[in-house]
Amino acid sequence: MTFKISDLAILPIETAVGTTKVLFERAKQLLGFVPNAYRAMSNEPALYKAYATTYASFRAECGFTPVEQEVIFLTISRKNGCEYCMAAHSYIADTMSGVSTEITNAIRSDRPIEDSKLAALAAFTTQMFTSRGRPTDADVLAFKAAGYSERNILGVILALSVKTLSNYSNQVFDTPVDDEFKPRLWKAA
């Protein structure tokens, strides 16, 4: 059996102070609520701040479209077996990022993505994950042939880091999936 945090609780929004309070308010503005994942991570404010700022930077500055961002996040979350993030990013893909359910469901069920550029992005993200950041020349050539750049490799690395923070936190916390995300529940194999 794997370890689950038992001495800490999902923090109430009302008790947030300082940077955590500001980040909670920003999340509520964007999503309409503060997800349980954020409330769990905020038990260690430095973790939550690192996650929130890195996540925002990836979204705003890495040059991937919202659809590409979700392909990356879903691919990583699936590889990590994070049930919380699979539900959350499937919901975001459906309601905010404009990802077709065919693409989202392909990733969720580990089937090929029909769009060749997005398939190359998912394949490269998977390769970066499984090789622990050591892609082969052939991996990079295929990624670049699909229309991506070496700068995009660094963006994938940033996404891997931010998803590691949230995936691992959710797994040790056994974060309950928010009601908003429950229509897209997913179970790790």
What is the CATH classification number for the domain harbouring 25?
Answer: 1.20.1290.10
Query: Cα angle vertex 110, ends 109, 112, to 5°?
Result: 115
Residue 106 domain flag: yes
Residue 74 domain flag: yes
Residue 33's domain spans which residues?
13-184
Average pLDDT over residues 176-187: 96
Residue 189 domain flag: no
pTM, to two decimals = 0.94
Q: What is the tally of structural domains in the chain?
A: 1
Q: Report pLDDT digits (tens) over 100-152.
A: 999 999 999 999 999 999 999 999 999 999 999 999 999 999 999 999 999 99
Environment class of 13 (CB within 10 Å of its CB; exposed 0-12, middle 13-18, buried 19+): middle
Residue 5 domain flag: no
Environment class of 109 (CB within 10 Å of its CB; exposed 0-12, middle 13-18, buried 19+): exposed
